Structure 1
Amino acid sequence: MKAWVLTTFNTPYQLQQLPLPPLTSPHDLLIRVTACSYCHTDAVVAAGTVTPPSLPHIGCHEYTGTIAAFPSGLTSSHGYTLGDRVAVRGCGNHVCGTCRECTTPSAPLADEPGFSVFCPRAGAGLGVDRDGGFREFAVVDARQVAAVPEGLGAVQVAPLMCAGLTMYAALVKSGLRAGERVGIMGCGGGLGHLGLQFAVKMGLRTTGVDVKERALELARGLGTGAEVVDGRGETARGVKERMGREDGWTLPSEMGVDAVLILPESQQAFDYAMELVRDGGKVILLSFPPDGFRVAATDIVFRRISLEGSLIGSNKAMRDMFAFCVEHGVRAKTTQFAFEELNDLVEAYHAGTPGKLVIDMKLE
């Protein structure tokens, strides 16, 4: 099979001919990859800056495929049969099933005991600390995949397996009810533009903020009806005051969003979000810059802002997200490349091409 291999950090992937990967667990599936999506995590892994894998390494942790083989003696596994279309989320590969996290899986939308996407023995996941989907065939754990629903194609599904699932789970975690306000920092990126769609379809009054021209164009072109703010020209205080007038509030502490999700890794985005959220509101981090963020204790103590993180999502969240996407028409804006064009895709990513960049194995 052909595979794109990272042999040295900060260098292009190398296209190599490799043997089919072995099935080493009774839970394993061999899939023929049909689409694979590029994520910010792929970029930092390839740079060796976060969770550097052992080299050589095959990246990609959000992809789709069709089942091509089972372990010897099996003709099905966990309800899946040959030819089934499955979506692969990198986390949750070879979970132990016995640790504290697996026996009492984390909320929200927790899975049944015996599996947790956050199992510490499962490691960082496919495409991060073990080989992922940038190849013609891949081995995945049947417990970490989901059936692709009718009405969604491979290229549409691949970006949902990290970007989409991360945003959906974070919005659920926010605990907001229809009619409440949510802010999304970095609303025109790969995750953010999906978050805008999810939030609006959940009935939330949604404000997105970005500072890049192409990202703002993408966010505004979605037609969601969300308010899209250019953070270069509008201050968080100005946006809050407008919200206050609309909602009938008069005190600055009353104004602002009820929760805000932070996607960019910049301190400026963090500070903007902190000012945008109302007193007693919630800030949810989805980014993890190497140097972290500076947090003012006064925001936590006197303004009573709660700060928490969110990462990927459970199997239950994955199934719920698929149903939501089918019902409400949530779709990623994609730019597609052929398998042989992976390094061109990477260049387009670093050049700031908006939306999600996806390898479509059907393209030539």
Structure 2
Amino acid sequence: MESQKPLHRAAILIRENGGYHFDVQQIPVPEIQPLEVLISLSVSGVCGTDVSLAAGHVGPCCDILGHEGVGKIEKIGSGVDPSIAKIGDRVGVGWIQDVCGQCSCCRIPGGETRCVEELYSGRKRNGTFAEYCSVPARYLMVIPEDITIADELVAPILCGGVTAYKALKVCEAVRGEWVAILGAGGGVGALAVQYARAMGYRVLAIDVNIDMRDECLALGAEVFLNAQDDISSAVQKATGGLGAKAVIVTAGAKVAYQSAFKIVAYFGVIVCVGIPPLPESISFHPLDFIGTGVKLVGSLTGTRADTIEALRLVQKGVVTPKVQMTSLEDLSDAIQMVGKPGIKYVVRLQ
């Protein structure tokens, strides 16, 4: 008689009555293919993209979401190159699970984040809200042994942190210039404030939640502004009339993008990170760019190399995610708190 397959706990997305929640179920542990590895997950961060996927705002998704997973390799497929990884290696499972390595995007340095054969966690492959997951070995991210920070501090960097870090890398500002973080009070925004400070920028933190003023200043912002005030005048005053050389929009509200044009300097860069719910759109006139030289740049997430760089700043102690631990059973409640004051929720899995 065939032996029973081993089971593990997973939070299954349930949509009903116009809403969604997660049901913790016992399901079979994934069976890996020859070019995959099986990971025993210890924690998984909860991200704003999980909210968007669960709510159906960004298209179809899998039943198991999550893309900030940390764990150890438990099993390696028969076809995996042994130089890639070994059993027991600590690994991170981010938004990108695999890339083709052959398309026009993959052939551009750093372009694999937009691979046309996208395999994203929770979107086309089951994610990390479970005790185990299987991932292709080709794009596996083994965490270097000299990065010794706890798993719960690694998890938020695998998407939220590296997204903030990469946005700052492409914003074209140089050390000593002003960078504004719109949505600085949220989980990604609070990390962006810390990374901006660590990278040598002067930081303007802007948020509707004025209760985050002291928190943002403690994280490294020189100035905190209430987004509901006349921020155009306030930014001009704070920067000596220059405006912000770069504006990182981590908030998904339409008004955040409209505000960005009011505070960016001539020839400055607005980096889009926050995603308004589809099909909501934002309209700009060509003169917004022609007359000012302003660039509008979309930044998705970071590569594996970007992620390791972002983790090293946490290891160094100049960036520290503020985390709140939760459980799979409490995931339905925790996901409703995503984006609340500066906290990244992390699920303890094992």
Normalised to the residue count of structure 2, the TM-score between the two structures is: 0.90
| Among candidates 110, 113, 117, match of residue 117 of structure 1 | 113
Report what 1:153 is aligned to. Answer: 150
| Deviation (angstroms), 1:198 | 0.6
Kindly provide the amino acid, as one letter, of the partner of residue 360 in structure 1: R
Report what 1:242 is aligned to. Answer: 238
Distance in 2, Cα, partners of 1:293 & 1:332 = 31
SS at match of 1:102: coil
| Deviation (angstroms), 1:314 | 1.1
CA RMSD of aligned residues (A): 2.1
Distance in 2, Cα, partners of 1:225 & 1:304 = 26
User: Is residue 87–residue 147 contact of structure 1 (8 Å, CA) maintained in 2?
Assistant: yes
Superposed, 1:134-145 pairs within 5 Å as 134-142=129-137, 143-145=139-141
> Within the alignment, does 1:94 sit opposite 2:95 as a pair?
no
SS at match of 1:42: helix
> Within the alignment, does 1:48 sit opposite 2:56 as a pair?
yes
Distance in 2, Cα, partners of 1:217 & 1:360 = 29
Superposed, 1:7-86 pairs within 5 Å as 7-8=14-15, 10-26=19-35, 28-53=36-61, 57-72=63-78, 77-86=82-91
Can you give the 5+ residue segments of structure 2 that lack an aligned partner in the other structure?
A: 1-7
Distance in 2, Cα, partners of 1:282 & 1:298 = 15
Normalised to the residue count of structure 1, the TM-score between the two structures is: 0.86
Q: Give the structure with the higher percent strand.
A: 2
For residues 361 and 182 of structure 1, do their structure 2 counterparts lie closer, same or farther at Cα, with a shift above 3 Å needed? same
> Within the alignment, does 1:6 sit opposite 2:13 as a pair?
yes
Distance in 2, Cα, partners of 1:353 & 1:242 = 24
For residues 181 and 73 of structure 1, do their structure 2 counterparts lie closer, same or farther at Cα, with a shift above 3 Å needed? closer
User: Is residue 184–residue 261 contact of structure 1 (8 Å, CA) maintained in 2?
Assistant: yes
Distance in 1, Cα, partners of 2:9 & 2:55 = 22
> Within the alignment, does 1:256 sit opposite 2:243 as a pair?
yes
- Which deviations, in whole Å up to 9, do the C-alpha atoms of 1:132-159 show, x marking residues without a partner? 0001101123324231543311100100
Can you give the 5+ residue segments of structure 1 that lack an aligned partner in the other structure?
A: 108-115, 250-254
User: Is residue 60–residue 128 contact of structure 1 (8 Å, CA) maintained in 2?
Assistant: no
- Higher RCO structure, 1 or 2 (CA under 8 Å, sep 6+): 2
SS at match of 2:72: strand
Distance in 1, Cα, partners of 2:160 & 2:335 = 17
Distance in 2, Cα, partners of 1:304 & 1:170 = 19
SS at match of 1:7: strand
Q: Quick one: percent identity of the two aligned structures?
A: 27
Kindly provide the amino acid, as one letter, of the partner of residue 131 in structure 1: N
User: Is residue 190–residue 216 contact of structure 2 (8 Å, CA) maintained in 1?
Assistant: yes
Distance in 2, Cα, partners of 1:229 & 1:260 = 14
Kindly provide the amino acid, as one letter, of the partner of residue 348 in structure 2: D
SS at match of 2:127: coil
| Among candidates 170, 173, 189, match of residue 173 of structure 1 | 170
Report what 2:333 is aligned to. Answer: 344
Distance in 2, Cα, partners of 1:73 & 1:184 = 45
Structure 1 range deviating more: 152-161 or 170-179: 170-179
Report what 1:359 is aligned to. Answer: 347
SS at match of 1:6: strand
User: Is residue 185–residue 341 contact of structure 2 (8 Å, CA) maintained in 1?
Assistant: no
Aligned residues: 337
Distance in 2, Cα, partners of 1:139 & 1:214 = 41
Kindly provide the amino acid, as one letter, of the partner of residue 30 in structure 1: L
